[in-house]
Amino acid sequence: MITDQLAKYYATIAQQYERVYDKPERQEDLEVLRDKVADVLEGHTVLELACGTGYWTEVVAESAESVLATDINDEMLVLAQARGLPDNVTFAKLDAFNLPDDLLGKFTAVFAGFWWSHVKREDQDKYLKQLRNKLGKDILLVLIDNSYVDGSNTVIARTDLLGNTHQFRTTDAGERYEVLKNFPSDSHLRKKFAHSAREIRMKRLEYYWLLSCRLK
């Protein structure tokens, strides 16, 4: 499940979070990624996990039938709601690691941006099973996340015994947090999803990747 430290870190940096999308070297990839996300989720009823400031909610809402954008942090939800998103977007406070039992049949797709990298490698199979059980068979799952590029990403501080990588991140106020952040290869992703999903499709850019599949 999400650690208290990770949740606290994102609550603390909510106001500064979107700076990551201002990096000049990432603009071309971001344009491609926005188009891909809007295209793959066109016409879907989408549950968005860990919506953060709503940056990607806005992209999804352009083409989706509807979006329920969720996050565990009130600080993030306040910012997302302040974006003035269209009427097909609603919001709810939700722990992406502890989904409620009343979601079955309500959505045709689930989207998570920059979330998979915070799921421990040893918990990933269990997490995919939870999504399947709570949301239903054949639901479309769309993930986007970071590729690691020296000089653009925060350096990896350590790798634990199970292969998870961690970064040290410092807030504007000088607070230091250790954050789990994995950077899986395409082969690792395909192997991980092979038992839980079908129609696995990967798009790898220099700074980002996108995976779509249907949970089976």
What pLDDT is stored for residue 76 in this prediction?
96
d(CA 27, CA 182) in angstroms, rounded, equals 22
pLDDT at 2: 52
- Full pLDDT tens readout for the chain, 216 residues: 456 778 899 999 999 999 999 999 999 999 999 999 999 999 999 999 999 999 999 999 999 999 999 999 999 999 999 999 999 999 999 999 999 999 999 999 999 999 999 999 999 999 999 999 999 999 999 999 999 999 999 999 999 999 999 999 999 999 999 999 999 999 999 999 999 999 999 999 999 999 999 999
The rounded distance, in Å, linking the Cα atoms of 44 and 29 is 24
The CA distance from 67 to 70, in Å, is 9
Distance CA 193, CA 125 (A): 8
pLDDT for the residue 110 = 98
pLDDT at residue 212 in the model: 98
Query: What is the sign, positive or negative, of the torsion defined by CA atoms of 117, 144, 124, 110?
Result: positive
Largest Cα–Cα distance of the chain, in whole Å? 46
Can you list the domains of the chain with their CATH numbers? 4-150+184-215 (3.40.50.150)
SS3 (DSSP) at 174: coil
∠ at Cα 144 (143, 147), nearest 5°? Answer: 135
Q: Report pLDDT for 1.
A: 47
Residue 3: predicted pLDDT: 63
